[in-house]
Amino acid sequence: MPTIIVSENICKGCELCIDACPRGLIILAKDKINSKGYHPAHLTDSSQCTGCRSCAMMCPDVAITVEGD
């Protein structure tokens, strides 16, 4: 089962991955703040992730990897 891994300390909360996810599975983790002062992206339901890599391709900081194809 595919899932995404967000490098929370790299993520700047730009929300491009949120817009790119065709299933709407990514949100900003409002309960977390990384070392740069941003809310990092968070996958809400890994069981629904298809591993399409749209989020990773849109991330300008290469903070997202997709694992488990």
Task: Kindly indicate the confidence band of residue 69, based on its pLDDT and cuts at 50, 70 and 90.
Answer: low
Residues of the chain above pLDDT 90, percent: 96
* Spatial distance between the Cα atoms of 22 and 42, rounded to a whole number of angstroms: 15
Q: Which domains does the chain have, with CATH numbers?
A: 3-67 (3.30.70.20)
Burial letters for 41-62: b for 16+ Cβ neighbours within 10 Å, e otherwise?
A: bbbeeeeebeeeebbbebbeee
Q: Which pLDDT value is given to residue 1?
A: 86
Task: Kindly indicate the confidence band of residue 54, based on its pLDDT and cuts at 50, 70 and 90.
Answer: very high
